[in-house]
Amino acid sequence: MVIRSAGTRRWLALLFTATLIQVFIAPAPSAKAASMEFTDSVRTSLNKTAEAAGGSTETRLKKLYNDLAALDKQLTAQDTKTNSLRLSNEARLIQTRKQIANIDADKILKLDNQAKSARSKLQPLLDLHSSLNKQAAAVKSLKDKSLHKSLKQKADAMKPAIDLARLHIRNREAELKAAKSEKTRKTKEIRSVLSQIDTVKIKIKAERSSVSSKNKSIAAEWKNFKTALKNKDAGRASDTLNRLINLSNQVLAHKQSIHKLETQISDIIAKAAAKINSK
């Protein structure tokens, strides 16, 4: 049986949650152009077309195809790298937001208990003093000067203790209020840091949109490429491969940009986490 620490279990839970977010909520990752399939069948058709052309055309056509295949692998590797970073960011963001909610939680709970305890312990004294004053007022209206004087003296004798009790309660409640205000300040400061992620995500969305647009062009060009192979049109096949390489390089650049933006998100989360730990 594998025994995991509580910290490990929490991390796995966060990772699982982030995975669900990734699948059901998060925007779809900028996947590579699935229409480009470097199958044995396509390779065979390419070789036949290239060999039929012969000479430098054959060499160029095969090189272009190999270059495109290598570029396709780069796109896949870039997707894997970026997806891994994005998933890590989602998990860390969940953890960071949970930590924000728990800032000074123990301190505030302690002060809240102290304030409640002070009120609970001293309230009977306050109630007794209030009762004596009410009784004195009631007796006074009945013209019973002797009883009124007695009750008033008892109430007045309690005044120093009452003042101290009220001061103690006010101090405990003031400490609690100050702690809550400080928590609000800290929370606002850290959330302000995390809000920078929104701007980065807008940029990522724009990059993904560009990838999607170019992938549509890649799909059309790949279809033209396969048609050229079917017709053994080496010239057209060469032209489409050149365009596919150009488009794929553009897609790769966009995806590399997305990875850099995800790195910025990672840095923002780290900055927020550092502020939490410094509090």
Domain positions in the chain: 6-103+188-278, 105-185
Q: How many residues does the chain have?
A: 279
pLDDT at 122 over 60: yes
pLDDT tens per residue, range 12-63 = 555 444 444 443 334 444 444 457 999 999 999 999 999 999 999 999 999 9
Residue 29, amino acid: P
Angstrom distance (rounded) from CA 228 to CA 46? 9
Tens of pLDDT along 228-277? Answer: 999 999 999 999 999 999 999 999 999 999 999 999 999 999 999 999 98
CA distances from 159 to 65, 136, 200, 277 (A): 96, 15, 62, 46
pTM of model > 0.85 = no
